[in-house]
């Protein structure tokens, strides 16, 4: 079964095929695609539907856990969050539609997913990375307690070279930092 995580404002769960046009619209905005290493611009027709169709296979195979980020009160799709490379060291990734930037949604979703990962998956570490020119993603990763561990250079969408900043957090560090009484309640429905 696919996990469903609920936080005070958000619901993280499986994408539906009907979400494809909204994914293309949100992720296809230049400002959103430009902050990531993997979202193309312009966003090709049919790419979102193909991406969503692969999600159950990725999860069942233990390779990735892509989740839709929705507002709990109205179910509106805001963006995506997920873990890649579940078979080795999972990597956190996320994006939000431009209208939803700066509201704390990425941090809230990332806290929930990381909490789920360390509680439910046989992992000892999570990693993350972001383009140097996207400092907002770095702020989210630092709020999680991740430490900057280096940088690399990558070709982004076959266009140009970018500096990529790398982060990581160990299970013990996560447990120390996030064992508090004011932690959001997360409901996991499988």
What is the enclosing helix (H) or strand (E) of 34?
none
Q: Which structure tokens are listed for 189?
A: 């429905």
Is residue 112 within 8 A of residue 184, CB to CB? The reply is: yes
Is residue 105 within 8 A of residue 78, CB to CB? The reply is: yes
Query: Looking only at Cα atoms, what is the longest distance across the chain?
Result: 46
Into how many domains does the chain fold? 1
In the chain, how many H helices and how many E strands?
6, 9
DSSP secondary structure code for residue 99 in this structure: G
CATH number of the domain to which 51 belongs: 3.40.630.30
Q: Which structure tokens are listed for 118?
A: 């360390």
| Winning range, highest mean pLDDT, from 37-46, 81-90, 142-151 | 142-151
What pLDDT, on the 0 to 100 scale, is given for residue 153? 87
pTM for this model (two decimals): 0.92
Q: Containing domain of residue 133, as a range?
A: 4-189
46's torsion region: left (phi>0), alpha (psi -120 to 50) or beta? Answer: left
Q: Which structure tokens are listed for 144?
A: 């999680």
Span 19-53, pLDDT tens digits: 999 999 999 999 998 888 788 888 889 999 999 99
């Amino acid at each position: 079964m696919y996990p469903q995580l609920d936080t005070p404002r958000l619901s993280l769960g499986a994408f539906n095929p009907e979400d494809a046009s909204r994914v293309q619209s949100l992720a296809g905005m230049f400002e959103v695609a430009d902050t990531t290493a993997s979202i193309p611009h312009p966003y090709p027709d049919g790419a979102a539907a193909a991406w969503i169709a692969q999600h159950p296979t990725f999860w069942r195979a233990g390779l990735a856990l892509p989740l839709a980020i929705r507002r709990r009160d109205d179910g509106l799709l805001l963006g995506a969050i997920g873990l890649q490379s579940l078979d080795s060291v999972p990597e956190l990734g996320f994006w939000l539609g431009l209208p939803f930037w700066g509201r704390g949604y990425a941090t809230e979703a990332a806290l929930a997913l990381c909490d789920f990962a360390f509680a439910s998956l046989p992992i000892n570490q999570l990693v993350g990375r972001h383009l140097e020119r996207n400092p907002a993603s770095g702020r989210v990763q630092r709020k999680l307690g991740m430490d900057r561990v280096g940088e690399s250079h990558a070709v982004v969408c076959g266009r140009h070279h970018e500096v990529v900043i790398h982060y990581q957090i160990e299970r013990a560090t996560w447990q120390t930092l996030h064992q508090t009484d004011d932690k959001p309640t997360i409901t996991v429905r499988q």
